[in-house]
Amino acid sequence: MASVELRNISKRYGAVEVIKNLDLTVDDGSFCALLGPSGCGKSTLLRMIAGLETITEGSAFIGGVDVTRLAPSQRRVAMVFQSYALYPHLTVRDNICFSLSLAGVSRDVQNAKAAEIAKMLQLEQLLDRRPAQLSGGQRQRVAIGRALVRAPEVFLFDEPLSNLDALLRVQMRLELAKLHQNLKTTMVYVTHDQVEAMTLADKIVVLDKGRISQAGAPLELYNSPANKFVASFIGSPAMNFIPGTVTSADGNSVTVEMQGGAQIPIRRRHPNSATPSSPLEVGIRPEHITILNTGDKAALTTGIVQIVEQLGNSTIAYVDTPIGQLVMEGDGGIAIAPNDTIGLSLDATRAHMFGTDGHVI
């Protein structure tokens, strides 16, 4: 096991800077997810840790050893690719043992290792098959087996579940979580799927245009996003953003008048960060909006339901209100229908404020 540390690293392709002066520490034995939209540099970052991309500036350390100029095979890492990259001409056994075979390990030892890993990943019956004869989930397990056989200090996963269907993805997610619990090896996991990141990782690093937008525990990012980008990227359905203006500020509390005239008191995260008349956006997650009767005094605003999505365990409604279109999420049993007029209240204690620069106030 080993920690991963990136110190002030940059990656440039000609004039294009993909990673910009990035510092990151992944603790020994932790599960770190690199999360971000396409093109944010998360896969490049992972490939730089693996040694598949050179580091233009800065240094990378694995287990305290400077690996910046080391070949990928010398970094004691193993990588699972999105495409699995299973060699089509080799059997499952030979795929798993490929690295051992390259290192000249005897056939007996290879077979013993393959049997041990096959047992761990429930691949015993498939050892003599070729990748083309396997299902997506089985291929994924073989790819993990091929990484496991090297007994790496760091596992690197590059969107390993992207090619699986929804059901299999949930199963494999569980298996990966179990694997991490059993091995307690450092894992760095690239994904654009926030659910994968939230469910698997101890630490999520949200990347935006080659920079770390925020890094922290999953719930920390969910409950206290540092900026609008993180707030909008994490959570499904996404957070509502309502334009507003500060009307008064008193200690930690700020009163915001949202468009349409409704006012809401919100606790500011940084003292003196919101002054009267300053424009901002109020962020509120769909589950922090409650449906009330239109006549209810607690209702902040009223609205007309446009679309209702009944998911069984929850109900998502898109509501047109004077403060803008809001998405709200409630219990599965809520009885609302399109064109209903409803009252809405916002949980002010869970609301966030973002300045014009996108940073949380």
Partner 1 sequence: MTTIAANLNEPAGPNAARFNRIMMLDRAGLIITVVTFLGAILWAFPIYWTLVTTFKPEQDIVRPGVDFFPDRFTLEAYTHVLFNTKIGLWYVNSLVTSAMVTVLVIMMSAAAGYAISQLEFPGRKFLWWMILASFMVPIPALIVNHFVLMSQFKLINTWTGVVLPQLIAPVTVMIYKQFFDSVPKDFREAAIIDGATEFQLLFRLYLPMNWGITTALAIITFISAWNNFLWPFLVTTSEEMMNITVGITQVTDAFGVKYARDLASAILAALPVAIVYLIFQRRVTQAIMLTAGIKG
Residues contributing to the site for partner 1 (CB under 8 A): 50-52, 71-73, 77-79, 81-83, 85, 87-89, 98-99, 102-103, 146, 150
CB closer to partner 1, 73 vs 310? 73
Helix axes 166-183, 136-148, angle to 10 degrees: 20
Closest separation in Å from C-beta 311 to partner 1: 36
CB closer to partner 1, 156 vs 327? 156
What number of other Cβ atoms are within 10 A of residue 135's Cβ? 11
Residues 6+ apart with CB under 8 A from 106: none
CB closer to partner 1, 73 vs 341? 73
Closest separation in Å from C-beta 144 to partner 1: 13
Closest separation in Å from C-beta 175 to partner 1: 20
Written as six digits, the tokens of 315 are 């109900």
Residue at 310: amino acid letter: Q
β-pairing, 16-26 with 154-158?
Answer: unpaired
Closest separation in Å from C-beta 71 to partner 1: 8
CB closer to partner 1, 164 vs 291? 164
CB closer to partner 1, 78 vs 134? 78
Closest separation in Å from C-beta 83 to partner 1: 5
Q: Which residue has the tokens 């204690």?
A: 349
CB closer to partner 1, 18 vs 143? 143
CB closer to partner 1, 89 vs 297? 89
CB closer to partner 1, 78 vs 323? 78
Whole-number Å distance between alpha carbons of 254 and 267: 6
What number of other Cβ atoms are within 10 A of residue 129's Cβ? 15
Beta bridge partners of 352: 283
Tell me, rounded to whole angstroms, the distance of Cα 153 from its chain centroid. Answer: 22
Closest separation in Å from C-beta 86 to partner 1: 8
Alpha-carbon dihedral 57, 156, 209, 205, rounded to 10 degrees: -110
Whole-number Å distance between alpha carbons of 130 and 124: 13
Helix axes 107-120, 136-148, angle to 10 degrees: 130
What number of other Cβ atoms are within 10 A of residue 299's Cβ? 19
What number of other Cβ atoms are within 10 A of residue 202's Cβ? 15
Closest separation in Å from C-beta 53 to partner 1: 10
What number of other Cβ atoms are within 10 A of residue 189's Cβ? 26
What number of other Cβ atoms are within 10 A of residue 298's Cβ? 10
Closest separation in Å from C-beta 110 to partner 1: 13
CB closer to partner 1, 31 vs 84? 84
Whole-number Å distance between alpha carbons of 255 and 243: 13
Written as six digits, the tokens of 67 are 């690996």
Closest separation in Å from C-beta 158 to partner 1: 9
Whole-number Å distance between alpha carbons of 303 and 339: 9
